[in-house]
Amino acid sequence: RLLPAAATGQGVITYLSLFTGPGTAAKSDPPRELHLILVDNGRSRILADSSHREVLDCIRCGACLNVCPAYREIGGKGYGSVYSGPIGAVLTPLLWPGERTSLLPWISTLCGACVDSCPVKIPLPSLLVRLRRREVEAGRTPRAERIGFSLSGLVMARPRLYRIASRLLRLFLRLGGDSLLRGMGPAARLLRVGSADRSRRPSREGATLEKR
């Protein structure tokens, strides 16, 4: 067994098995037959899907894991499958579609580092976006998220409504609304990130771009 040089450098990651076939008479006690069993496990279904079949080009070198910022943060076990990293976020939902794997395509920043490092140039970000679209169309996204995106789309499609909402939000925050939101789960985390980054922002000068 070999550990590919392009893998993560850990003790255990992606292994290759080399099969030499039946031995020859020159060898002592050679195996007389070699039986190779190929387990389909849903791969024929993926091959028939023209929008995702490129994922089957993977040679399991592990190069995409090495450069993925999401994988570096959560590790392999966060993917809940033997296939981890960007390639796992694509392959696992295709092999086992459903609620259990519906969130995997979202574990990516779509930065494209995986494509740059992939020796066979699998377009993983494009495949992830297609899978995300499929999950949204199947209704396998959180209800609060669906409502939030629907409302934001409604507002952004109407410039006048967008300007009114922006002004109301600014007024709400000036009146101490951020203190109210700090105890509301995801909103609280978002505000904490914004507060931590405030010292690095350039100071705002004059009127906003919208008003100018």
pLDDT in tens, the chain (212 residues): 455 555 555 554 555 666 777 766 566 666 677 788 888 888 999 999 999 999 999 988 888 988 999 998 888 888 888 889 999 999 999 999 888 888 899 999 999 999 998 989 999 999 999 999 988 888 877 777 778 888 888 999 999 999 998 888 888 877 776 666 665 555 555 554 444 445 555 666 666 666 66
Q: Say whether domain 43-137 belongs to CATH 1.10.1060.10.
A: yes
pTM exceeding the 0.75 threshold for the entire prediction: no
Q: CB of 153 within 8 A of CB of 136?
A: no
Q: Which residues of the chain are in CATH 1.10.1060.10 domains? A: 43-137
Tell me the CA end-to-end span of the chain in Å, nearest whole number. Answer: 65
Virtual CA dihedral for 84, 85, 90, 93, nearest 10 degrees? 40
